Amino acid sequence: MITKRNFGKTDGKDVFAYRLTNKSGDLSAEIITYGGIVRTLEYKSTDVVLGRDSIEEYLDNKGCYGALIGRNSNRIFGGEFSLNGKKYTLAKNDHGVCNLHGGDKGYNKRVWDAREIDGCEPSLELMLFDPDGCEGFPGNVNVKVTYTVTNDNALKIHYEAESDADTVINLTNHSYFNLNGHASGSAKNHTLQISAPFFTPNTKDCYPYGEILSVENTPFDFRNGKVLKDGLDADFEQVKMFNGFDHNFVLDGTGYRKYAVAKGDISGITMECYTDLPGVQLYTGNGIEKDRVCKDGAVYDTHYGFCLETQKFPNAANIPYFPSVFVRKGEKYDTVSAYKFI
């Protein structure tokens, strides 16, 4: 089932909120056309994503709650990259050091066109035309992201894009999860397992400099599962530097596979995570804006939610041995990730 309501207006365009509910009614997602934002994600009446209440609040969406991220997710050091012998200059919108999440007006700040597909499993297609030179990236790009609420209680996200010139494309979703409920407080006592034998350490400015390290005997070893708090409280430079995790994990295996499992300590809700991509950014809400009233009157704080952002590696545009974020003219960018609830 799909329902639609008006959610306001920005840039002279109407913004709509679509609610997708599966056959059993156990899982529903509300998605707004501004930023492709997952505003609510309710499993058996527990809303497990952080969010805001109005379009006005989302226009100042510090932390990118629930948003689609592009043209490039995460960071590009120096706000520049070279492609086919030409240097491209981007906004340094992350402390004047990196390009972050596509620039000053990435996909998280644009109004998408929408098409409902109210079939056996309700889907919402979001479409965006990203013109050549926008935010400094080359190529006219047509982007389509399809959200589906499946009958086995998953939110599936299918990302597709094509360009008329060689370019960078690396899309993700920036939802913050708290499986005890978005207004339940800290997520530090959640259990998290990530099938990742390696991670990419960051500079102090939070971008990978090219090294790939084993998680063995580090707080980054989530392979057998552990309470988030045990990693967050570790006396380890890469954790202390950011007051938590804001790092890319190098996932085991290839193809579409389960890469992570998270469980709420109070609710008992389990979330299985799937992707066909090589990496995921674990961000533990280290910089969540404090004292701001958010969705349903909730006030969030540090570590009240965590993100699992599937991706090619950050700064891959400048590190040739990382999985490539370059998409050639006429080549189709096509990837699927999902979050399944039990």
Q: Which residues are catalytic?
A: 174, 309
Q: 335, 311 in Cβ contact below 8 A?
A: no
Q: Which residue has the tokens 């708290």?
A: 178
Q: 270, 242 in Cβ contact below 8 A?
A: no
